[in-house]
Amino acid sequence: MKIRSMGLATLLLAALAGSAFAQVKEHAFKIGTGLTDDHPQAQALKYFGERLAAASGGKLTARVYTGGSLGNDLSMTSALRGGTLEMTIPDSSTLVSLVKPFGVLNLPLSFNNEKEADAVLDGPFGQKLLAKLPEKGLIGLGFWENGFRHVTNSRRPVQRAEDLSGLKLRVIQSPLFLDTFNALGANATPMPFTELYTAMEQAAVDGQENPPATILASKFYEVQKHLVLSRHMYSAWVLLMSKKTWDGLSPEEQKIVQDAAREATLYERKTIRAFSDTALADLKKAGMQITELPPAEQAKMRSKLQPVLAKFSKEYGEDTTAEMNAELAKVRGSTTADSK
Number of helical (H) and strand (E) elements in the chain, helices listed first: 13, 9
229 close to 72: Cβ distance less than 8 angstroms: no
pLDDT of residue 16: 47
Q: How far apart are CA 192 and CA 173, in angstroms?
A: 7
pLDDT digits (tens, 9 = 90+) for 181-193: 999 999 999 999 9
pLDDT of residue 15: 46
Mean pLDDT along residues 190-200: 94
What structural domains does the chain harbor? Answer: 25-338 (3.40.190.170)
- DSSP state string for 222-264: GT--EEEEEEEEEEEEEEEEEHHHHHTS-HHHHHHHHHHHHHH
| 276 or 126, which is more confident | 126
Run of H or E residues at 36 = none
- How far CA 306 is from CA of 116, 179, 294, 319, in Å, comes to 22, 11, 19, 18
Q: Is residue 136's pLDDT more than 50?
A: yes
Q: How far apart are CA 228 and CA 87, in angstroms?
A: 33
Mean pLDDT along residues 1-12: 52
One-letter amino acid for residue 193 of the chain = F
pLDDT of residue 11: 52
pLDDT digits (tens, 9 = 90+) for 85-117: 999 999 998 999 999 999 999 999 999 999 999
